[in-house]
Amino acid sequence: MNEDAQPRQHKYKRIWLALTALAVLLAILIVPPLVSVSRYKSRITRLISTSLGRPVRLSSVEVRLLPRPGFVLNDLTVEEDPAYGLEPVLHANTVTASIRLLSLWRGHLEIDSISADEASLNLVRTTSSRWNLDPLLRSATNQAQSAAAGGLPGKTLKLPYLEATNSRINIKNGTEKLPFSLLNAEMSLWQESPGNWRVRLRGEPVRTDLSLEQADTGIVRLEANLHQAPQLRQMLVHLNLEWREAQLGQLTRLILGSDAGWRGDLTGELQLDGSADAAQIKARLRATGVHRAEFAPVAAMDFDANCSLVAHFSTRAIDNLLCDSPLGNGRIRLAGDLPGEAPGGTAALPHISVELDKIPVAAGLDALRTVRSSLAPGLDAAGSVSGKITYAPSAPETAEAKKPAHFRALKAQPGPLTGGFTVAGLAFSGKGLSQPILIPKLLLEPAPASANQAPDAPQALVATVALPGGAAEPLNLLSRFALSGYQISARGQASILRARELAHLAGLANAAALDAVAGDALTVDLTAEGPWMPAPTPALKIPPAGLPLPKSGSLPQSAPLTDSITGTVTLRNANWKADYLVNAVQISQATLHIDSGAVSWDPVVFSYGPLKGTASLTQPAACEASMPCVPHFEVQLGALDAAILQNAFLGAKERTTMLSTLIDRLRSSAAPALPQLEGTVKAESLLLGPVTLHEPSATLSTVASEVQVTAFDAGLLGGHIHGSGTLLTPTSPGGKPAYALEGELKGLSSQAVGQLIGLRATGGVFDGSGKIALSGFTGDDLAASAKGSLHFEWQHGRVVGGSGASAAPASLARFDHWTGDAEIADGAVTLKDNQLKRGGVAAQPVLATVPLAEPAKISFDAAKPANPAHK
């Protein structure tokens, strides 16, 4: 070829390329409008339905030529098999279906790939452990192998490549949608060859009923190779699963529905090879920085566990289980077999062993703190645990079962647990302990099975230790540890100091009550028991699409730990000192009763200065949410003398008594707040100078600086007094207590009333009512500050005697009805308006004054002359 021909050849190539590009451009602009898309809609729907083996619906189809020929499908819905529910298995607003170009040359239309964005996929598991993808995969493969493209025989349809991005995968248990989903999921599903499926998945696990920090739940990645089989359990699977970057706090919220208080990072890996009948599984679980949220340990409880096993999913059996993990300076090894149903439908017997080699006790303490956040974080533990426990139940002996019950009871059957753990060098020290707790050796071994124990009853590990408690006798601890929970019994004696330390370390709710007690050793008989973990959160039913989710306030919450403590603690020869009391209360004996949260002291034999009596105090276990749990008390006193009480409480002349100290204390600073209490105080009698109150009883309540007497009853002067009142304690330096009282007098003896004010009186009963307010510490202060009123009625009375100012006026010598009002002020009771009648005729009113002092001698004033009657 000459040099002139070469430029011409390049010129022709450029022209052909330009014409080709122009033809393609014209095809893009002209061909789509001329193509009748509606004629392909049913064809495409049928092709996708045939490929997936499910009915398919779509609203519209658009033709797309670039970047490769295909169709854009709007509102695609793949219907579900009715056996798995009514919701669609797949829904996507927009789906792109690419066409196989070679099929067009052959005159057929075949789908090469289906790509969905922002799709929603439902994975359904039935009660018979079948998944909705199983028939979908099998039917799709079978139909593809039997259906020809365009209906031509002898042709095999290659199933399209399925992929989804930015999608969501929901999980359903039958018709119930579970609150677990994968968001931002990327999934691919394709066939490398007929019957050989490949799956790739990536997503972020979430709960749809909770607000989670999605970035902290980790990333789930899955790659699997599935080989088609007649049944799902026969399908050969090669699967790799990873769950990385999961934060334990958010992970527990994801799984349990609430934050269990764990912190740290978790990574899990799983590899599976085989089928549902026999699958070889290898798993690795790594955790770093594991600790409770409320404290940071010196060394985090990290672990790296590797497990291998053969799983038989169809029979729910596990063979050759072996898990091994280092922990601290030791190692944990778990091995065994968990057979499923044996031939004939009977349950086969499992065999499991747990071996510990120098596992630090501190690691066990940290593990306990993950479920017992109240356990003192300042407690340090030393020592190590070694040993092996094997669980191997034996089959029941038919011949033994046929023996009479009284013969079987003579021989206890061995339990399924054998072996034991030895704890060497156990020591507890740290914050809260004045001296370390040292236990050189402790043996944990299976409890012997009782002869009357059911064969399937759970067996526990038990340990007995004599713990020095600072008393003449040790404190014996009997511990039982089972898979479901624990039980610890403590019996013996312990000093109050040691008991206080142990109670605080155990996180007992009422441990603070021992802080103000000193005295002889306690006698303890207590049993504590409870589960290791809270009860599981009930599964939340998620409504179908289109219906609103439940409000956050109605979401199920994790049940609290149901620990219970029962038993008694006996206190003798002790002193109890509270901030709001001047001196200590002397307790000769008191018994604390604890019963599953309810706490009561009954009886308490005490003395406080001149007061001697018995008391009881009850703290309820639970109250309504809107009401506080107020302790209730009852106090029973003997015969009381107001003079002795005054010397003790109301300003004694000697500076060594309690109230002299109390007065100085109240004048120097505000008094401590009173605890919130309610109850009753009773006494045999109360001597108030010349007056004796018989069997007085007061119902009262205390809160902050106020004492409210809701009811007061007593026998008085042959009758009865009923009243109520309040006491306000000083709230500032130099303040005085203030009293407000009101009450009713019923059936008082007129003779006794007369004797009280220095008169001789007889006749009917004396009734009255009144109220008074007063303040101060001493009797003089109270009398000078008293203000109030009194109303009285006296039927058929007679008053005689007296001389001088106390001489009774003649109108009182005999009367049918005397009623009136009196004023209490300026240290006296002054008779005001009153009416005196005899035989229906009004007599001259009486004016009199009774001083608030002892003796309370009445003095009469001259009455004003009555106005003459008009004739």
pLDDT score at 350: 85
Identify the pLDDT of residue 455: 55
Q: What is the pLDDT of residue 313?
A: 81
The DSSP line for 186-200 is EEEEEEEETTEEEEE
Q: Of the candidates 342, 325, 338, which has an alpha carbon nearest to the alpha carbon of residue 290?
A: 325
d(CA 728, CA 743): 18
Give whole-number Cα distances, 144 to 156, 164, 188, 236, in Å.
6, 21, 19, 20
> Which residue, chain included where needed, has tokens 């299976």?
446
Beta strand 522-531 with 219-227: parallel, antiparallel or unpaired?
Answer: unpaired
pLDDT of residue 648: 47
622: phi > 0 → left, psi -120 to 50 → alpha, else beta; which?
beta
Instruction: Indicate the pairing of strand 161-173 with strand 111-117.
Output: parallel
pTM: 0.66
Strand, coil or helix: 184? strand
Q: Within a 10 A sphere around the Cβ of 813, how many other Cβ atoms?
A: 12
| Contact between residue 586 and residue 604 where contact means Cβ atoms under 8 Å apart | no
Residue with tokens 């529910």: 85
Question: How far apart (Å, rounded) are the C-alpha atoms in residues 524 and 567?
Answer: 8
DSSP code per residue over 351-410 = EEEEEEEEEEHHHHHHHHHHH-TTS-TTEEEEEEEEEEEEE-PPPPPHHHHTS-HHHHTT
- CA 867 – CA 871 distance, rounded (Å): 12
Which of these, 334, 325, 346, lies nearest to 396 by C-alpha position? 346
Residues of the chain with pLDDT under 50: 28-31, 33-35, 105, 144, 147-156, 398-402, 405-412, 539-540, 542, 545-559, 648-663, 665-668, 866-871
CB of 264 closer than 8 Å to CB of 218: no
The pair of three-digit structure tokens given for residue 504, joined into one six-digit string = 């605080």
| Contact (CB, 8 A) for 722 and 712 | yes
Q: In 650-763, which residue ranges form alpha helices assigned H by DSSP?
A: 658-668, 750-756
Closest residue by Cα to residue 746 from 769, 772, 720: 720
pLDDT of residue 565: 85
Residue 253 buriedness (CB in 10 A; 0-12 / 13-18 / 19+):
buried
Q: Give the integer Cα–Cα distance in Å for 278 and 539.
A: 31
Phi (first) and psi of residue 24, to 5 degrees: -65, -45
Is the bond preceding residue 603 a cis peptide, omega within 30 degrees?
yes
Q: Would you state the pLDDT for residue 789?
A: 95
Q: What is the pLDDT of residue 747?
A: 94
pLDDT of residue 148: 40
